Amino acid sequence: MEFYAGNYDIIVTGAGHAGCEAALAAARMGMKTLVVALNLDAVALMACNPSIGGTSKGHLVREVDALGGEMGINIDKTFIQIRMLNTGKGPAVHSLRAQADKKRYQAAMKLTLESQENLDLRQGEVVEIRTKGGRVCGVKLDTGEYYTCRAVIVASGVYLKSRVIIGEYSINSGPNGLFPANRLSGNLKDLGFRLMRFKTGTPARVNKRSLDFSKMIEQPGHTNIYPFSFLNKAIEREQVPCWLTYTNERTHEIIRQNLHRSPMYSGEIKGIGARYCPSIEDKVVRFSDKESHQVFIEPEGLDTNEMYVQGLSSSLPVEVQIAVYRTVPGMERVEIMRPAYAIEYDCIDSTQLKLSLESREVEGLFMAGQINGSSGYEEAAAQGIIAGINAVQYIRQEEPLILDRSDAYIGVLIDDLVTKGTPEPYRMMTSRAEYRLLLRQDNADMRLTEKAYRIGLAGKERYDRLCYKQERIQKELERLRNTIISPSDFVNQYLLGKSSSPLKSGIQMYNLLKRPEISFSDLIRLGQIGEEIEPEIQEQLEIHVKYEGYIQKQLKQVEQFKKMEKVKIPPDMDYSQVKGLKIESVQKLQKLQPENLGQASRISGVSPADISVLMVYLEKRRREKRNNEA
């Protein structure tokens, strides 16, 4: 029996990493918000890796934090190990990664949601999104409750008609034995969405007591690292180690002998998996020339003996998994607590969304996370906060927050999904970002916090910290430019010790710091600058000085990019009327309805010649409109 249960401004379906950020953003911006989750014990569940961040993903977490999101704050509370990756390379690819206590991460995030003003939680399954006149008006739950609202955000993760597969065994289930959401897919189809079937997977969890760490390589955490959230200073905490080991030819032989039992190769799995996160059987087949593959043993928390076996994701039968795992050094007597599995699920064709993540099909309906074909907690959180912000902007009848490819990794992620679509689970990578020297993890606050502050999400404390940081950087840059270091025995002996040329005359500190072998800490040791400058300010100064030429070059590239992005395309554009466009281009432009010329140029199959034709047409149309108004 259906009954009216209440009214909200915004309803979020799902409380994974996308749903949490969407709901918190909406509530913090003043909207009465409801989160409906299949199981409240699975709020912010880390169904796969018990970690946050990593290469490129760390950038996304910092950007979510800079916008006023929660993921960075939450992992800072609950990490049990933290490392900076890619430190042997330039700052553009440095990425923070933290091992989480997964239960504490969930509990802390759930408490944050429960404590948030304007936010209610409800356990249940959303089975229908209701519309009136082409726009959202409410949702219905499986238990009969009907809630009215002005916007809905679907953040359903991998639960839509999800099916778990282990060898010849399969069951309709969500991750970790949780219920699937079986009815919303049909409703989305009825609303006009094209659905796709994707697949992901996870490795086994094993008992720590059954492992021999003496045969593995210890991977300790790093100290003196600034945390994920720009609100936090360095956190001192005892860290636990992870461990590294390797597969071998015996491992690969067992896998090859049992490929016929792998649902990936038998045809049992229909969904499309991610190339960038392959199962061990996929790695053995695709990289047959490799003698070994890395296996990381990672703790799932402080209060459990369960260990996550990164690198051995699989959907092979359990008895084969046991045989495979026991060939790995240090795992000869391993006991599996939870077997590895593959999971299939429904998602939408993300080209049916606007850059705001609002549906083109239904007004007021937003999508975020794995429903859009992406993969990963961080990618989900990034979409979640943007969907939450723009659902609020939609209700306020204000311009959506659109981050473009020169603003943020989030902009790259969303533009790729919306403009290009994805034929497989999409994973963020640094190589996808054209302007990655500008979009570093260390400057996410300087890129995004002011935007979030203007729309009412980032708080005053966060904004004041940003202003202080910017003022300090400018002040110290002036000091570097205006301070001359004169040659002396001490200075020249120090420089020679750093394999740097001695001074023959005075030199600006700014120019001395440009030398590759000289760091900001060297200026402090030379007695030219006091130690009172905060480490994060030192980092910004060093990057600014050493990479100045490259940064200026990339800023010029961004200037050209922005010109294309500023050329807006009317939403009612009829591309069949544009003479000179290829038929393929007309079809794709008509289908995707790009919002600006830059977005149109990134559509597969639309050539530079088509863009030139379109540019001329838009300019002609603009002049005609201006003349008619005159």
pLDDT tens for residues 520-550? 999 988 877 766 788 899 999 999 999 999 9
DSSP states along 296-317: EEEES-TT--EEEEET----S-
Judge if 61 and 162 occupy the same domain: yes
Q: Among the three residues 423, 455, 487, which one is the final residue of a domain in this structure?
A: 455
Q: Is 527 exposed, middle or buried (0-12, 13-18, 19+ CB in 10 A)?
A: exposed
Judge if 602 and 616 occupy the same domain: yes
Position 556 in a domain: no
Position 466 in a domain: no
Percent of the chain at pLDDT exceeding 70: 100
Write the CATH number for 617. Answer: 1.10.150.570
DSSP states along 341-386: EEEEEEEE-GGGB-TTSBBSSSBTEEE-GGGGTB-SHHHHHHHHHH
* Token reading at 294: 């890395």
- 279-293 CB burial, b ≥16 within 10 A, e <16: bbbbbbbeeeeeeeb
Judge if 31 and 129 occupy the same domain: yes
Phi/psi for 146 (5° steps) reads -125, 120
pLDDT surpasses 90 at 225? no
pLDDT surpasses 90 at 619? no
165 and 344 in contact (C-beta within 8 Å)?
A: yes
Q: How high is the pLDDT of residue 193?
A: 97
Judge if 297 and 386 occupy the same domain: no
Judge if 490 and 533 occupy the same domain: yes
CA-to-CA distance for 392 and 356, rounded, in angstroms? 11
What's the mean pLDDT when you consider all of the chain? 94
pLDDT tier at 224 (50, 70, 90 boundaries)? confident
CA-to-CA distance for 7 and 140, rounded, in angstroms? 12
61 and 75 in contact (C-beta within 8 Å)?
A: yes
545-584 confidence digits (pLDDT tens):
999 999 999 999 999 999 999 999 988 889 998 898 988 8
pLDDT tier at 223 (50, 70, 90 boundaries)? confident
Position 228 in a domain: yes
pLDDT surpasses 80 at 412? yes
Write the CATH number for 306. Answer: 2.40.30.260
Judge if 209 and 182 occupy the same domain: no
Phi/psi for 231 (5° steps) reads -80, -15
Judge if 40 and 168 occupy the same domain: yes
pLDDT surpasses 70 at 331? yes
Judge if 505 and 581 occupy the same domain: no
Q: What ranges make up the beta strands (E) of 59-105?
A: 79-85, 95-100
Position 181 in a domain: yes
Write the CATH number for 505. Answer: 1.10.10.1800
What's the number of domains the chain is made of?
4
Position 252 in a domain: yes
Judge if 507 and 540 occupy the same domain: yes
Judge if 135 and 220 occupy the same domain: no
Percent of the chain at pLDDT exceeding 90: 85
Half-sphere exposure of 349 (CA within 13 A, CB side): 12
Q: How high is the pLDDT of residue 211?
A: 98
Position 134 in a domain: yes
pLDDT tier at 630 (50, 70, 90 boundaries)? low
Q: How high is the pLDDT of residue 154?
A: 98
Q: Among the three residues 551, 578, 594, which one is the final residue of a domain in this structure?
A: 551
Position 559 in a domain: no
CA 120 from centroid of its chain's CA atoms: 25
pLDDT tier at 435 (50, 70, 90 boundaries)? very high
Phi/psi for 487 (5° steps) reads -65, 140
pLDDT surpasses 90 at 605? no
| Closest among 271, 61, 50 to 176, alpha carbons compared | 50
Judge if 41 and 188 occupy the same domain: yes
Position 350 in a domain: yes
Write the CATH number for 159. Answer: 3.50.50.60
456-497 confidence digits (pLDDT tens):
999 999 999 999 999 999 999 999 999 999 999 999 999 999
163-214 confidence digits (pLDDT tens):
999 999 999 999 999 999 999 999 999 999 999 999 999 999 999 999 999 9
CA-to-CA distance for 223 and 237, rounded, in angstroms? 9
* Segments forming the whole domain that contains residue 541: 477-551
Range 487-511 average pLDDT: 94
Q: How high is the pLDDT of residue 316?
A: 96
Range 336-346 average pLDDT: 97
Rounded to 10 degrees, the C-alpha dihedral 321/322/325/328 comes to -140
Q: Among the three residues 342, 371, 391, which one is the final residue of a domain in this structure?
A: 342
Q: Minimum mean pLDDT among 8-22, 64-78, 230-244: which range? A: 230-244
pLDDT surpasses 90 at 401? yes
pLDDT surpasses 90 at 274? no
Judge if 16 and 154 occupy the same domain: yes
Helix (H, G, I), strand (E, B) or coil at 568: strand
352 and 193 in contact (C-beta within 8 Å)?
A: yes
